[in-house]
Structure 1
Amino acid sequence: MPTSTSEKDQIPKLPWGWERAKAHVKDVFVPTHGWYYDEAGEYVYGEMKRPPLVNPFKLCAMLTAKNWLFFGVGLFAWTMDGYDFHAGSLSLTNLSAYFGESRETISESITLTLLFRTIGAAVFGIAGDMYGRKWPMIINMLIIAALQIGTVYAPDWPTFLGVRALFGIGMGGIWGLSASMSLENMPVEARGLFSGILQQGYAMGYIIAAIFNLYVVPNSHFGWKSLFYIGAALSGLVAILRLFFPESKIFLENKAARSGKKVSVPAKVKAFSKEGKDMLKIYWRRVIYCSLMMAAFNFSSHGSQDMYATYMEVGKGFTKAQATRAAIIGKVGCVVGGTICGYLSSFYGRRATIIVVSCVGACMIPLWVLPTSWGALVAGAFLLQFCVQGAWGVVPIHLSELSPPQFRATFPGITYQIGNMISSPAAQLLSTMAEKYPKEYRGELRPDYAGAQAYFMTVIFIWLAIWLLIGHEEIGSRFELVARAGHEAYDEAAAAGPSNAHDAERGEASGKMANEKESLEYVEDADAVKEKK
């Protein structure tokens, strides 16, 4: 496998044009060669053989007790992110009555929450890559719990908006920390399956919130506020659970190797900042690609889910209980689709799985919006959400493999939340479109949520399929073997003191990033090798 510059120069290049485009499209479905991190943690070019289908129960049997522990808490944290976010969207009607504002105005709180998530992703992602996954997650979850309580005690609408904006900052850090902690401690063969399960924590969070909204809120003297009290308690529980088990293996190894070396906080920050600047110089195209990819993904979820209960209640005329039950069944489709598609992506490819399921999802849109009976609409919701979250199930592992491994909490978290920020007006757009262009339904003029959602999701599915088609993947990369960012400060400390073989090995990681700059120039030229063959 060519790893040196001279060997890379021998890779033939296809000129931009039809032949190169055909080769690239073929690579999505029938790959042969590509760039990835091998078993030694080196960024190499070589043959990429996809493994045969493995029984998912065998994949589960590969996990140790610690693997399950890391994954379980990561899943719990991400589930609470979904619960906390949807506690707001499920309470739109109640909040509208409580604050005396229209549903369209109340939906601004959803937009603000999404807009401010990027700040949280940056803050907690950097903390996670510099100091480990444990304490940043504990602090993150405690902040979330405190802001849930703050939401309940907001005396007026402007204060409520301010609290939800801060809440967005807290929520922004959870995904990057959860995904990195869960997947870096997972056997490579099992990452696709558990990526799908992990991502559906968000859907499970909705299901839990919807069940409480259906059965607890109407029977509690706290009313809609009980949703937020429960969220605060469960978020605090995640922090407590994380307190009682150790740091990720890679950070424990780093700590043991650097035992006895004292490095000041400014030195750590300086080293991390230097590597961060180098990363942006090398990976700036990938930052843009991943951010726009995540914008499409977030538009697909927010466009099909945030206003769904309102659509069923206001647009289709069902009761609140019927609308909530329909949303819950749709979320069950999310969990099933995400798990299955995440599992299949390890054998059929990350991009191929997403593209196929997006095309199928576009075909499900008529069944999602045209029927008039509750049963048919629910069937459409299940199938459409199977496809939406089937594509989403591939995201944690696909984004982790595309990320610079030195920044596997920062990069995925920030690009994910940039996409969230871009998609933040989704609920407002749908609400405005539906209210502005009402349609007669059952003899009554109603907001046309069906038409708004149908047009919106058609565009998003097409965007998603095309964008993934022009991208690339690094399936099976051993990103967990690459040293985390900020190691240079310790390398300097090692140079000033006794030599250590392990430090010397870790010191090579900074050179790897520089070598990747050359490697990335040849990512698309893998197609040329196949054409020559």
Structure 2
Amino acid sequence: MTTTPLQYLSSRVSTLVPKSTHLSDIPNPISLLRSLDRQNWAFFSVAFFAWTWDAFDFFTVSLILPDLADSFGRSRTDITWGITLVLMFRTVGAVVFGIASDRWGRRWPFVVNNGLFVVLELATGFCQTYPQFLACRALFGIAMGGLYGNAAATALEDLPPVARGLMSGLLQQGYAFGYLLATAFSRALVETTRYGWRPLFWFGACPPVLIIALRLLLPETRTYQKQKMERELKQQQQQDEEDAEEESGQGGERHGKNGVTHVFWEQGKQVIKDEWLLLTYMVLLMAGFNFMSHGSQDLYPVLLDTQFLFSRDQGTIIQVIANVGAMLGGMTIGFMSQFAGRRLSILVMCALGGALLYPYTSTDIANQGWGRIAAAAFWEQFAVQGAWGVVPAHLMELSPAKFRTFVVGTSYQLGNLISSASSTIESTIAERFPLPAEPGSDGAMLEQRYEYGKVICIFMGCVYAYMVVLTLLGPEYLGRRFDRRDSEALEDNGVVFGEDHGQGFEFVQDAHRERVKAGRKGGGMVS
């Protein structure tokens, strides 16, 4: 039955209700972890550590922003362009490595990706001028952009569906864990030698070597191998059809378009044609998520240092506490989303995060003691990363199977591109609200002080409102199978797809699904 736009919109609230509200229906997380086999754990581990180090590489600039500004003789707003360029160029990496991963496998694109991390971390540590720094960060954006889609596919696509929410939350917290490691190592390596901030980047080049070695020991995922066999089978069927036409005298001139690569591109064009509305929604959703994380995190170390006048040790402790909250939030809400639903979980976390914005950014709270700010930071990042814990599974479930790495990575990084100027926007606006010079924690006078807290609070309030509206209106394919073709996977969801969570954008896609069913009944194959 075709769903009209009006019927779809009228179902957005009712579809938030979980299928069951009985506590006895909540699975035991230990049992879910035991459902993974050794290969599942190996794939998940290598993806987790790669995503962790992606986050480490990104947050090094945020954490040493004042040091970089002093070293290159630039303002802090100028240095934030190093953050912005990374976010802008991530889309290039997502497209290039996403296509490569879906066409030729997850393994070698993953290895090349991490090899670029090694080279560019070393190069950043040797930068002598501001233009050199910006060039390295732009190239770093390409490397970072290529990793997320591949890491998500490597970690999640072979997992039992029932464990997907929990493991999605665990995977996403590689981001918070990377931030925590960057905080700890920046405190240990910056200003402890005569090389200043540079040892932090030189150290950052080492772990990707181990990640590469681990990935080389593992095969392709089972799901990708099945997709590869399907393409080869379809290519063989096309070859057989052309041979039969030639034997009957009806075949025309061949143009060499019956290879696996041709099948891959034809499927890609069909995906874009049929799923354009869903893909657009995913990009807009990821723009909101990236505004949420970067808007709340990128300038927070500067706020602690220059507005709240906390010591570097106090700032480090607050950042560590915040990231512990982030990791707990991602794991907890990722797990809960498996039975509460992806959309409802995101909405609840947006409400919690919005309620905590004032204590998270208020000078009044900071004057009452840094411990109060630490508590607010813990729960704010619990909410931000709690919502993010749903993202890997949610994106994987929404994405077409044959182009999962490309769609997940590209939608994520296009969202990053849209939100790329978050820190620069906040820093520029904050300069309109100067504060009087005050002695810093080291006794030196801080001349460049601004009301970052006010700007972050207002900015994030707008972001949370946007996310509530977009999530409420959006689709959900909770429990979608990854090891079957798209049309079969959607039908296999049964009650979940037919009744509520999977009703996303059916009014656009029904016609194509009818063609799929007709092709199957007639014994043909429809891509």
TM interval, short-chain normalised: 0.7 to 0.9
Q: Matches of 2:280 and 2:41 in 1, distance apart?
A: 33
Say yes or no: does 1:465 pair with 2:457: no
The correspondence for 1:434, drawn from 427, 430, 437, is: 430
The correspondence for 1:330, drawn from 322, 325, 328, is: 322
Check whether the contact 1:307–1:427 (CA below 8 A) recurs between aligned residues.
Answer: yes
Q: TM-score w.r.t. structure 1 length?
A: 0.82
Cα distance change, pair 417–254 in 1 and its aligned pair in 2 (3 A)? closer
Cα distance change, pair 274–380 in 1 and its aligned pair in 2 (3 A)? same
Other-structure match for 2:151: 178
Q: Matches of 2:89 and 2:8 in 1, distance apart?
A: 40
Cα distance change, pair 364–303 in 1 and its aligned pair in 2 (3 A)? same
Q: Secondary structure at the match of 1:417?
A: helix
Check whether the contact 2:400–2:486 (CA below 8 A) recurs between aligned residues.
Answer: no
Q: Matches of 1:408 and 1:198 in 2, distance apart?
A: 17
Q: Matches of 1:208 and 1:30 in 2, distance apart?
A: 36
Counterpart code for 1:475: L
Say yes or no: does 1:27 pair with 2:15: yes
Check whether the contact 1:316–1:441 (CA below 8 A) recurs between aligned residues.
Answer: no
Q: Matches of 2:198 and 2:176 in 1, distance apart?
A: 21
Q: Matches of 1:284 and 1:483 in 2, distance apart?
A: 15
Quote the offset at 1:133 in angstroms: 0.6
Q: Matches of 1:395 and 1:109 in 2, distance apart?
A: 26
Q: Matches of 1:521 and 1:130 in 2, distance apart?
A: 24
Check whether the contact 2:51–2:174 (CA below 8 A) recurs between aligned residues.
Answer: yes
The correspondence for 2:217, drawn from 244, 249, 273, is: 244
Q: Matches of 1:68 and 1:323 in 2, distance apart?
A: 35
Quote the offset at 1:389 in angstroms: 0.5
Q: Which has the higher contact order (CA 8 A, sep 6+)?
A: 1
Cα distance change, pair 395–107 in 1 and its aligned pair in 2 (3 A)? same
Check whether the contact 1:50–1:346 (CA below 8 A) recurs between aligned residues.
Answer: no
Counterpart code for 1:392: W
Q: Matches of 2:316 and 2:482 in 1, distance apart?
A: 41
Other-structure match for 2:177: 204
Name structure 1 gaps, 5 residues minimum: 1-7, 33-48, 485-513, 523-533
Cα distance change, pair 76–229 in 1 and its aligned pair in 2 (3 A)? same
Q: Secondary structure at the match of 1:318?
A: coil
Quote the offset at 1:51 in angstroms: 9.5
Q: Matches of 1:50 and 1:411 in 2, distance apart?
A: 35
Quote the offset at 1:124 in angstroms: 0.5
Other-structure match for 1:312: 304
Quote the offset at 1:22 in angstroms: 4.1
Q: Matches of 2:329 and 2:163 in 1, distance apart?
A: 17
Aligned residues: 464
Q: How big is the alpha-carbon RMSD for the aligned residues of Structure 1 and Structure 2?
A: 2.8
Q: Matches of 2:125 and 2:36 in 1, distance apart?
A: 40
Q: TM-score w.r.t. structure 2 length?
A: 0.83
Cα distance change, pair 407–252 in 1 and its aligned pair in 2 (3 A)? closer
Other-structure match for 1:232: 205
Other-structure match for 2:54: 81
Q: Matches of 1:266 and 1:117 in 2, distance apart?
A: 33
Q: Matches of 2:338 and 2:455 in 1, distance apart?
A: 35
Q: Matches of 1:20 and 1:474 in 2, distance apart?
A: 14
Q: Matches of 2:437 and 2:16 in 1, distance apart?
A: 44
Other-structure match for 1:480: 483
The one-character-per-residue Cα deviations of 1:418-445 (angstroms, maximum 9, x if unpaired) are: 0000001100011111122124698998
User: Which stretch has the larger CA shift, 77-86 or 147-156?
Assistant: 147-156
Say yes or no: does 1:129 pair with 2:132: no
Name structure 2 gaps, 5 residues minimum: 240-255, 440-445, 488-505, 515-527
Percent identical across equivalent pairs? 39
Counterpart code for 1:387: A
Other-structure match for 1:517: 509
Cα distance change, pair 265–310 in 1 and its aligned pair in 2 (3 A)? farther
Q: Secondary structure at the match of 2:431?
A: helix
Counterpart code for 2:453: A
Check whether the contact 1:357–1:390 (CA below 8 A) recurs between aligned residues.
Answer: yes
Other-structure match for 2:340: 348
Q: Matches of 2:304 and 2:292 in 1, distance apart?
A: 18
Other-structure match for 1:222: 195
Other-structure match for 1:487: none
Q: Matches of 1:483 and 1:291 in 2, distance apart?
A: 20
Quote the offset at 1:152 in angstroms: 1.4
Other-structure match for 2:521: none
Other-structure match for 1:389: 385
Check whether the contact 1:120–1:173 (CA below 8 A) recurs between aligned residues.
Answer: yes
Q: Matches of 1:431 and 1:62 in 2, distance apart?
A: 47
Cα distance change, pair 432–232 in 1 and its aligned pair in 2 (3 A)? same
The one-character-per-residue Cα deviations of 1:387-407 (angstroms, maximum 9, x if unpaired) are: 000000000000111111111
Check whether the contact 2:350–2:384 (CA below 8 A) recurs between aligned residues.
Answer: yes
Q: Matches of 2:50 and 2:455 in 1, distance apart?
A: 32
Q: Matches of 2:78 and 2:400 in 1, distance apart?
A: 39
Write out aligned runs for 1:42-191 (5 A).
52-191=25-164
Q: Matches of 1:412 and 1:256 in 2, distance apart?
A: 22
Cα distance change, pair 189–266 in 1 and its aligned pair in 2 (3 A)? same
Say yes or no: does 1:406 pair with 2:402: yes
Check whether the contact 1:310–1:323 (CA below 8 A) recurs between aligned residues.
Answer: no
Other-structure match for 1:421: 417
Quote the offset at 1:237 in angstroms: 1.6
Quote the offset at 1:278 in angstroms: 1.3
Cα distance change, pair 473–322 in 1 and its aligned pair in 2 (3 A)? same
